Chains A and B, each alone.
Chain A
Amino acid sequence: EDQVTQSPEALRLQEGESSSLNCSYTVSGLRGLFWYRQDPGKGPEFLFTLYSAGEEKEKERLKATLTKKESFLHITAPKPEDSATYLCAVTNTGNQFYFGTGTSLTVIP
């Protein structure tokens, strides 16, 4: 069964303290892996798509990487405005989307 597991559920960081969020997946024929940011009361905001193991993408303080079993979202020197829930999702060759439950990130000034 295709599924996505994210860890940790919640993460508190001091401003400037770098860390990583994990997304483990099991999917029959990975088509793509996606990272989203969701602020309270808003819909998910698209961040990255990764297609194959070894691929990396960066945006400001965020860097996403992909292996055959998991993806990491690295946050370098985070700021309070990076506080949000980060969602991971995969899609398979049947174009079905599976979302994780997210990691709630709080960055303390």
Chain B
Amino acid sequence: SAVISQKPSRDICQRGTSLTIQCQVDSQVTMMFWYRQQPGQSLTLIATANQGSEATYESGFVIDKFPISRPNLTFSTLTVSNMSPEDSSIYLCSVDGTGLDEQYFGPGTRLTVT
């Protein structure tokens, strides 16, 4: 399984600002995923990021609000732009395992917007 790290682990941000979350993997992976986990709710997929192509966003999520970069096969960033308190959540990155049948998750970034 891959070892995944995220930075920052947590942050408290003011309304209207932006935060960039980094995800680093210890091996090259094809697909990286960004999820949001709000209290008491299931994980919701924000977007899928493949190296060398534009990220694919799920319904309800747009690039202007959640721009994603994927400069190489081991790294990705998610920016939460123009934040509001509703963006307070845990943001998780994950990568595909062998054969796309499994996903391995990073430790998450706990974001609080005041």
Contact = CB atoms under 8 A, between A and B. Distances in A.
Nearest to B31: A95
A101 B1 CA distance: 24
Interface of A: 4, 31-32, 34, 36, 41-46, 49, 87, 89, 91, 95-102
B103 A100 contact: no
Nearest to A48: B102
Contacts of B40: 101
Contacts of A98: 42
A16 B100 CA distance: 36
B101 A101 contact: no
Contacts of B92: 43-44
Contact of A42 (B43, B45, B94, B107): B107
A44 B107 CA distance: 8
* Smallest CB-CB A-B distances: 9 pairs: A43-B105, A99-B42, A99-B43, A101-B42, A44-B105, A43-B108, A43-B107, A43-B106, A32-B101
